[in-house]
Amino acid sequence: MLEQGKKMKIAIHQPHYWPWLPYIQKVQKADLFVYLDDVQFEKNGLQNRCRLEYPGRGLQWLTVPVRHKFGQAINETRIDKRAIRSHLAALLTLFGAKHVEEMRAVYGDHDNLADLAIATTEHVLGKLRIPTTTIRASGVGPSDRKGSARLADLCAELGATTYLAGSGSRNYLDRAPFDAIGCKIVVQRLAVPAFGPSSLQLLLRDGPVLGWGVAVEQCATWEEF
């Protein structure tokens, strides 16, 4: 897929529901971003919830209830569509009525968690005019490998010369399969507190103004693995 001699930076991450700024930065820095939609759903993770700041209450979780069985993949996990009404009501309370129709369009008629989470991320990317190409891992091809080996397989299949890894990757990433395919690893180092407010908070409160670009750029730095 890659032209000979051309460098390709690839980032891979599970779909997150209204992801926070370091996730958005990770997409922005990549030439190609892969939604890892066919791995196991993580209960109490960020795949179906985000944090919003409520007046007088600080940061609170906004969670999409899901119906799932243990071991089920994110793209097999169904959402409770009744929750969408409560989420729209929460957004109305926080940000006023002017965004409700916009949010209804984002939420659409999704009943699959991967579809909904990806739709929220794509909306933010569109607002910020981030042109990175995005695809789903499930569309690349089946794999019986897991963990670092699966990530390296995706990088090899898609022609990556550099893999952009998340801030927690030093705790689990095995560099051997990346070395085997000649793919360099660069790791994100956070410059903001973990589990900060969702990109949705900034999008609806501030809009996609110049300060957004600064916030995304300054939320993390990068260093070699």
Q: Chain centroid to CA 154: how far?
A: 17
Phi, psi of 66 (to 5 degrees): -130, 160
Tens-of-pLDDT digits for all 225 residues of the chain? 445 558 999 999 999 999 999 999 999 999 999 999 999 999 889 999 999 888 788 888 989 999 888 889 999 999 988 878 888 888 888 887 778 888 889 988 898 999 999 999 999 999 888 999 999 999 997 778 899 999 999 999 999 999 999 988 989 999 999 999 999 999 999 988 777 788 888 777 765 554 677 788 888 999 998
Which residue is listed with tokens 């569109």?
126
Q: Chain centroid to CA 119: how far?
A: 10
* Nearest Cα to Cα of residue 64 among 24, 111, 101: 111
Contact assessment for residue 91 and residue 175, using Cβ atoms and an 8 Å cutoff: no
Contact assessment for residue 13 and residue 35, using Cβ atoms and an 8 Å cutoff: yes
